[in-house]
Amino acid sequence: MAQRNTWQRDRVREALGDAAGFVSAQDLHATLRQGGSGIGLATVYRTLATLAASGEADQLQSPEGEAIYRACSSTGHHHHLICRSCGRAVEIEAREVEAWAQRTAAAHGFTQAEHVVDIFGLCETCTAAQAAPATTAAAVTAAAAADPQGAAATAAAPAEIRD
Ligand SMILES: [Zn+2]
Ligand SMILES: [Zn+2]
Ligand SMILES: [Zn+2]
């Protein structure tokens, strides 16, 4: 590579900084394209890897095994709480984890131990959205599909009620 496209790197870094939480290369690529940038997906992948390697971005794996990135406010060692639905992230300290990791490594004769601990869940907003009526209707439909006889019995029940 003779030429280094620093403008592309700047655009990726900028977009990452604007993102509300952890994003995948594909997410970021889509955002950049919406903003009118002709940047390629391969370039976004490569640039994110470079930013992660230089410590300018945090990289971790989503539960689905996808690499996700964030421009973190703290550069030191830290952990995250990440919403698996919207990607929103909270940086957290985990003193118990630090002590436990040191102790466990030492107990097995390990030195220079490092660890990666992140918590994936649903944020408050996404939890509230999941509790919305639309989700309940879908759950009822799913339950009926899973147990057609039970659903049929329930549907037939009112006809058997006499007074
Ligand atoms: Zn972070
Ligand atoms: Zn969320
Ligand atoms: Zn830690």
We report the CATH number of the domain holding residue 40 as: 1.10.10.10
- Specify the number of domains making up the chain: 2
Whether 162 maps to a domain, the answer reads no
The residue segments making up the domain with residue 142 are 123-156
DSSP 73: S
- For Cα atoms 92, 93, 97, give the angle at the middle one, nearest 5 degrees: 120
pTM over 0.85: no
Treating both helix axes as pointing N-terminal to C-terminal, what angle do 6-18 and 25-34 enclose, rounded to 10 degrees? 100
Element (H, E) at 119: strand 118-121
What is the pLDDT of the chain when averaged over all its residues? 82
Question: Residue 81: is its pLDDT beyond 90?
Answer: yes
- Shared domain for 26 and 96, answered yes or no, is yes
* Ligand 3 centroid from CA 109, angstroms: 19
- Shared domain for 41 and 116, answered yes or no, is yes
Question: Residue 160: is its pLDDT beyond 50?
Answer: no
Question: Residue 158: is its pLDDT beyond 60?
Answer: no
Mark the binding-site residues for Fe cation, compressed into ranges: 77, 98, 115
More confident residue, 11 or 163: 11
Task: Point out the ligand nearest to the CA of residue 77.
Answer: 3
